[in-house]
Amino acid sequence: MKKILVAATAALALATPALAFEVKWGGDFNNRFSYSTQADLSRTIAGEGNSFINVTGAAIDTKKNSEDSDFFGEVKYRLTLTGTDDDKKAKGVLGFEFGGRKFGQRGGLDFAGDDNIFEFRWGYVDFEVPFDPASRLIVGLQPVGYNKFLWSDNAAGVKWVSKRGALGYSLGWFRDDVGNTGNGGGVKLENDDAYALDVTYAIEGGPKLNAFGIYLEEGQEDLVGTTDTMDKQLWLGLAGEGQVGALFYGFTGIYLTGEINAGAGTFTGGTETSLDREAYLLNAEVTYKFDKARLKAGWLYTTGDDDDTDGDAENFANIDAYMGGFGSVVVFDSFADDNTLATAPFIFDRGLNMPYVALDYDLNDKASVGASALYILTAEDLGEDKDLGVEVAARASYAITKNLKAGIEAGYLIGGDAWDELASDDDGDDVFRTDASIRFMF
């Protein structure tokens, strides 16, 4: 792999003068360290839409035992190669990720250090549509770039993007073919396809509005000798952001509808063969900037399902998103974003009801400090209560050089009644967690 990368780079570099091409490398080298008093609460299973699930696929146990405390170091290095033609009408992008592994991890970063820890993140061509300079076509494995609560990761597909004055819009088709190679009897399974429409309009002197619709089919139908499952989901959303003086604001509203079809006995109750989806997400946030400080307040709410037997699925679901930006260290994303308790804007199928506040202050042009508080509840009862607890967190960062930054965060979760109910003995323990990062970006 190393030889291939070196050869490709050399070939591009030699061809640059003749082809009038500009080739650039970009990098994000992140070294992260974490300590938690309950490390088993800081591991999520890989995949989309997981929240409060650990690596075994079982529900978490919020009771601390003698082996729960843990400290680890981790590396995640990302490289991006961008080749652009001289008139900026076309570019090709390759993105790689090395690492995402803990120090000493078996099959990852043991002392030999020669294991396969490579991920192909991006590989796409972005070019101007002939006869329409206002439009571009993006083909390949690309960042999808939709609403941060719904779908913000990467996917393989085709996306047409156009911008005309204050109006921007796009159409996209993406495919997830994981597991769709046959059912053992030579019958090809159906592909998982997503279709997206995205429209943005910047109101002069007002907010920037974004309306979007995404339709996704996951599963297979009309198979012989196996159980059919098909989840058809349609998200319709409106988001906006703007500024009034020193006050910055943003909001998001997403409505989910659709239907889940499966064989008899699949769902709780035993007789239902389909569930009707109906759920929504709401978020509102304001930030006031004064002098060197920023004060933020917000609220996030997603519906949950309070009855598993009524034929309806009322819990919000998303495709693939990350829950950073709320100031949480224990429950949601922090520096160690791959080892966090929840990766989606919901808890199990019970939704989320979370007000939050944060204050950040720039000590100078290199150093900043901050603190956050989050009151974390489910929208519907988790057991007999909704109160997971209050998380308080503090953070600090320092720019060592223009491209090198160090930071540390610490969070403490004071568990509530619902947190206790998740414990093996109905008495959950509070959690302390701290993460540190040394990050080089170019």
> Do the domain assignments include residue 84?
yes
> Is the confidence at residue 321, as pLDDT, over 70?
yes
pLDDT (tens digit per residue) in 136-172: 999 999 999 899 999 988 899 999 999 999 999 999 9
> Is the confidence at residue 126, as pLDDT, over 90?
yes
Helices (H), 214-275: none
Helices (H), 318-412: none
Residue 423 contacts by C-beta under 8 Å, 6 or more apart in sequence? 61, 62, 63, 429
What three-state secondary structure class fits 39?
helix
| Chain-centroid distance, C-alpha 19 | 38
> Do the domain assignments include residue 106?
yes
pLDDT band at 113 (very low <50, low <70, confident <90, very high): very low
pLDDT (tens digit per residue) in 282-296: 999 999 999 999 999
Share of the chain above pLDDT 70, in %: 81
Q: In angstroms, what CA-CA distances link 238 with 2, 82, 284, 317, 365? A: 44, 32, 12, 17, 36
> Do the domain assignments include residue 213?
yes
Rounded CA separation 420/198 (Å): 42
Q: Which residue has the higher pLDDT, 120 or 15?
A: 120
Q: Which residue has the higher pLDDT, 261 or 376?
A: 376
**For residue 14, is it left (φ>0), alpha (ψ between -120 and 50) or beta?**
alpha
Q: Are 320 and 363 in contact (CB under 8 A)?
A: no
**Which tokens go with 329?**
């260290």
Query: Which among 297, 304, 300, 346 is positioned nearest to 321, based on CA atoms?
Result: 346
Helix then strand then coil, % of the chain, to nearest 5? 5, 55, 40
> Do the domain assignments include residue 14?
no
Q: Which residue has the higher pLDDT, 341 or 76?
A: 76
* Mean predicted confidence (pLDDT) in 38-63: 63
Picking from 40-54, 61-75, 226-240, which range would have the lowest pLDDT averaged per residue?
A: 40-54
**Which tokens go with 180?**
């769709």
> Do the domain assignments include residue 3?
no
Q: Which residues pair with 438 in a beta bridge?
A: 31, 406
Q: Are 379 and 397 in contact (CB under 8 A)?
A: no
Rounded CA separation 384/386 (Å): 7
Q: Which residues pair with 211 in a beta bridge?
A: 199, 238
> Do the domain assignments include residue 109?
yes
Rounded CA separation 249/84 (Å): 35
CATH code of the domain in which 328 resides: 2.40.160.100
Backbone angles phi, psi at 42, to 5 degrees: -120, 35
Strands 312-313 and 274-290: parallel
> Do the domain assignments include residue 142?
yes
Query: Which among 238, 213, 377 is positioned nearest to 302, based on CA atoms?
Result: 377
Number of domains in the chain: 1
> Do the domain assignments include residue 435?
yes
Q: What residue numbers bound the domain in which 40 lies?
A: 22-441
pLDDT value of position 188: 52
**Which tokens go with 390?**
């209050």
